[in-house]
Structure 1
């Protein structure tokens, strides 16, 4: 079910900033200029010209995202291009800065399955810089079904996306006779080109976010065709004793799930 989006608060000092303080969400419109946007798009395709086309393409800078741990690699590092390093001093949270950057190209019509980003391996602030096409991102408070999917075996990157895309069919043994759960209503937030989204608090830890795969989005009552979209996801990695999480959403917290699985394994011995 889709719900009307909550009403944001407009920053008095800067009307380009919208806040949803109750869930820790912030959107900054026109965070980068059109010239910066053009530079980023050109640099992306110059680096991987053979991969242009209809497929989703990823590039990594800083410590590369590790799809086996859902954290950041400790050994694979690519220096930041200036178009990324130049924007870091302008990020809203400065007491720690991202060191893991994933740039993705989404061809028209593609989407992202509903998911909650890893809690334990990255610090709280999660940034997404959108450029290219406008797109609507769907938010929904995570529920028991999301918690069940996170407990499926072998959560590789491919398994996670498959499980998220086919949520209703991924029913673990013993769950078949349980009554159908009430799914929290979702709402859509329009991400304009050149905007920066910041997720903290509940929106970071307790809400799923997704982009529905479709050719158009309804914006202000009008059907707007999607074009190619790019995003830069920016995260701050945790290392050693920093790894962990004590958030208020244990059902979808990888740290709590890992402890739970370990306890069950110990009890079964």
Structure 2
């Protein structure tokens, strides 16, 4: 997809050139957050636990409270001790008031992508961290729009089952014209304001504010990337997504992006059931 918008203005931290901020949207990228030695140890530890190094399948490991793919929150019962290769760098995280307790470590074979999405608002605190290692990859950002809001309101489908994001549920089949119109609308929406940031190996991405709540992030599934004007074959990539779980009265959200806010959508659905709207 041809990008049609330049990224928001970035500023380099005058005290540390490894830190780049897009302050308007609350996004921070820290280069060389971990060392090459730490990176090698992480990769070795990952494959020691799950030796499936090859193949086309994405491999996931969960530490702390496990990510729950049915609620898109955190499990109440499944908890795995966090390995030292993670706990060792936690004191270096830039926001110590949001210390993560849910960690998802993943291996992405070459060519694998991540569909556009906004992480759950109500179940996790604001700071969302993603540590990339193994190889560089461009991550795409886009302000969420009507199609993202529509998808959020579709019936939940199993994440293990392949499904076409442009296809309506079987209970309400769309006509060919509707399907084409939806696809065209989505294409127009995605091309209108999307841009990419290169995530180098050993870099830490921090999403807060608008980038956390109102922007989708994605990695396009493709075999090559254009980096510094050169076509580069994509290699295997690893990431650690880090979140802070909300519990009890902390669960909820009052952000400025109700279209893609799970808390606001639940309120909307409840109001519909009660006949208020």
Do they superpose with TM above 0.5? yes
Distance 1:218 1:6 in 2: 20
Instruction: Say whether residues 1:211 and 2:219 are aligned partners.
Output: yes
Cα distance in 2 for residues equivalent to 1:123 and 1:110: 28
Distance 1:21 1:158 in 2: 36
Per the alignment, residue 144 of structure 1 pairs with 146
Q: Is the 8 A contact 2:30 2:203 kept in 1?
A: yes
1:207/1:16 Cα in 2 relative to 1: closer, same or farther (>3 Å)?
Answer: same
C-alpha deviation, 1:263, in angstroms: 1.3
SS for the counterpart of 1:157 is coil
Written as runs of structure 1 = structure 2, the 5 A alignment for 1:1-269 is 2=3, 3-50=5-52, 52-158=54-160, 162=163, 166-170=164-168, 176=178, 180=185, 183=189, 184-267=192-275
Summarize deviations over 1:198-250 as a string: whole Å, max 9, x none. Answer: 00000000000000000111111111111110000000000011100000000
Say which SS state the counterpart of residue 43 (structure 1) adopts: helix
Q: CA deviation at 1:266?
A: 2.0
* More displaced 10-residue stretch of structure 1: 149-158 or 203-212: 149-158
Conservation of the 8 A alpha-carbon contact between 2:8 and 2:24: no
Partner-residue secondary structure (3-state), 1:49: coil
Provide the alpha-carbon RMSD of the alignment: 2.1
Deviation at 1:174, TM superposition (A): 8.6
CA distance change for structure 1 residues 120 and 157 in 2, over 3 Å: closer, same or farther?
farther
Aligned length: 264
Partner-residue secondary structure (3-state), 1:12:
coil
Offset at 1:52?
4.0
Could you give the per-residue CA deviations for residues 2-26 of structure 1, whole angstroms, max 9, x where no partner exists?
Answer: 1222331000000000000000000
Give the gaps of 5 or more residues in structure 1: none
Give the Å deviation of 1:50.
4.2
- Partner SS, residue 274 of structure 2: helix
State the shift of 1:49 in Å: 1.1
Kindly state the Cα deviation for residue 173 of structure 1 after the two structures are TM-superposed: 7.0
SS at match of 1:6: coil
Residues 88-97 or 259-268, more deviating: 259-268
Judge conservation of contact 1:205–1:249 (CA < 8 Å) in 2.
yes
